[in-house]
Chain A
Amino acid sequence: MARTLINIPKQTRRGEVIEIKTLIAHPMETGFRPLANGSLAPRDIINRLVCTYNGEEVFRADLFPAITANPYVAFTTVATESGEIALSWTDDRGQTQTETVAIKVE
């Protein structure tokens, strides 16, 4: 499991615009880097980040080569109700890592 860092206001008011900040440890190998033997290091990037809020998708991003290692993605959504925010990163090998954070809305 890759190390992630997710920052969401723990407590907020209904209707408030909240910022969700995410970091994940990943080499984001572009597929264009030549190795010592002349072959290219195979591409291995996170190609998708999806955020759901109580099961409903609120944000999705496609990522491409040339995005930095350990990518940081921040976005906003509107706080509607208490519950769970889930973030899922999917890489080129088809593996998905999901992390969830609780949010309290008053």
Chain B
Amino acid sequence: MTPRQPGRMTARAALAGLAAALPAVACLAQQDGRQDGRLSGSAFMSAETREMQADDAANPGMLSVLDGEALWSRKEGAAGRACADCHSDAATSMRGVAARFPAFDAARNAPVNLDQRINICRAEKQGAAPFAWESPEILALSAYVGLQSRGLPITAGEDPRLAPFIERGRGFYSLRQGQLDLACASCHDDNWGRLLGSSPIPQAHPTGYPIYRLEWQGMGSLQRRLRNCLAGVRAEPFAYGAPEYVELELFLMTRAHGMVMETPAVRP
């Protein structure tokens, strides 16, 4: 190992640990009937985990959805108004919304993700303090809003004003980083379907966020997932809400354009 390139060798060692392709995944790709080869993370899960996700009576993410439904009609803040006072029935007003986020926010001249958008309403429309990142409340509201897009195709990124931000996200996705010197693409484009330790590497399509992750024993946002992957290559994760994350989220959603929303998904 040369001192100037400590990352390379480690990265190779890490990738050498990748096991052979999973035949089950290829089979699922055929069942799925997709021509373009894109697969949701669900396709890489065990049958038990897929069943847990598919059954609303067994999917623990539904507990969070129910919390979100309760928050939706709770009057909050100086304005004393509930989400429902302005947006009435979420099944109508929020249909397809989560599938379109991150979206361009004209006031900020930048994309905002769904959690940020909800907190903007909290601060500006309800006059309440924003919920903390990854707090049960923000996860519950985004899960509840997200559920209203379940089964609908992802449409994020269609707004032309988003183009430069998508490009920045794409750049980040292909950038080698961390002590392991790996890009997102090294795993999710070049090695998906293979095993990293005992975990199959999925294609990184953010179809089901916020998710209930068994490893977390709880709900988490896409940014939490991205932090895990960054920490996995021993890179310094950004703070929650950093523009880099929002651009990356936006790029991932654009890359998954047309795929079906699964919120609240269950992941291992």
Which A residues are within 8 Å of any B CB, using their own CB? Answer: 3-5, 7, 21, 23-25, 27-28, 68-70, 72, 74
Contact = CB atoms under 8 A, between A and B. Distances in A.
B66 A72 contact: no
A23 B217 contact: no
Nearest to B214: A68
Given A3-B63, A5-B66, A70-B63, A21 B217 contact: no
A70 B62 CA distance: 11
Interface residues of B, number: 13
B13 interface: no
A38 B218 CA distance: 24
Nearest to A4: B63
Contact of A23 (B60, B67, B214, B218): B60
The 10 A-B pairs at the shortest CB distance, nearest first, are namely A7-B57, A69-B217, A21-B57, A70-B60, A25-B63, A3-B63, A72-B58, A3-B66, A5-B62, A3-B67
A32 B223 CA distance: 29
Contacts of B66: 3, 5
B34 to A, nearest CB: 31
Nearest to A68: B217
Nearest to A7: B57
Contacts of B58: 21, 23, 72, 74
Of A3, A24, A27, A72, the most chain B CB neighbours within 10 A belong to: A3
Nearest to A8: B57
Contacts of B218: 69-70
Contact of A5 (B52, B57, B214, B217): B57
Given A3-B63, A68-B217, A70-B60, 8 more contacts: A3-B66, A5-B57, A5-B62, A7-B57, A21-B57, A24-B63, A70-B218, A72-B52
